[in-house]
């Protein structure tokens, strides 16, 4: 009987934790592509072509529109990548929201 009571309380605690975590992610603001564009122009344009009105970027890096059109691209994956960039990229110490905004902006260029 004691074992059953422990199991029920454990299941209830796990369900409550899941509900809280699901609620916190659901209340997060949606990604903002316009803010992502502002961030891209400020931090990324030195190397990447980040918008149609930009004429030059570094020779050895892809334009954001090219990245957006790569097979398998999605905004969530690029946002995750930006949280821990590869060695050739500077670590801009982006917040999760900034990375999501940049991901949403890059994704908008592929549409």
Query: Is 109 in contact with 103 (CB distance < 8 Å)?
Result: no
pLDDT band at 62 (very low <50, low <70, confident <90, very high): very high
Predicted pLDDT at 86: 75
Which tokens in the block code for residue 48? 């990447």
pTM of the model: 0.72
> Is residue 65 packed enough to be buried (19+ CB in 10 Å), middle (13-18) or exposed (0-12)?
middle
**What 8-state DSSP symbol labels residue 40?**
I
Residue linked to tokens 């190397």 = 47
Q: Is the pLDDT of residue 52 over 80?
A: yes
Which tokens in the block code for residue 16? 């409550």
Residue linked to tokens 């940049």 = 102
When pLDDT is averaged across residues 11-35 and rounded to a whole number, the result is 57
pLDDT tens-digit map of 63-72? 999 999 999 9
Query: Is 94 in contact with 105 (CB distance < 8 Å)?
Result: no
Q: Is 84 helix (H, G, I), strand (E, B) or coil?
A: coil
């Amino acid at each position: 009987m004691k074992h059953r009571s422990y199991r029920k309380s454990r299941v209830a605690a796990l369900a409550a934790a899941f509900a809280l975590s699901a609620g916190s992610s659901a209340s997060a603001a949606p990604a903002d592509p316009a803010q992502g564009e502002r961030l891209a122009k400020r931090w990324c344009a030195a190397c990447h072509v980040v918008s149609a009105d930009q004429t030059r970027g570094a020779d050895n890096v892809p334009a954001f529109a090219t990245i957006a059109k790569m097979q398998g691209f999605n905004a969530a994956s690029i946002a995750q990548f930006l949280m821990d960039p590869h060695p050739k990229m500077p670590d801009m110490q982006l917040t999760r929201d900034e990375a999501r905004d940049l991901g949403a902006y890059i994704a908008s260029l592929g549409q």
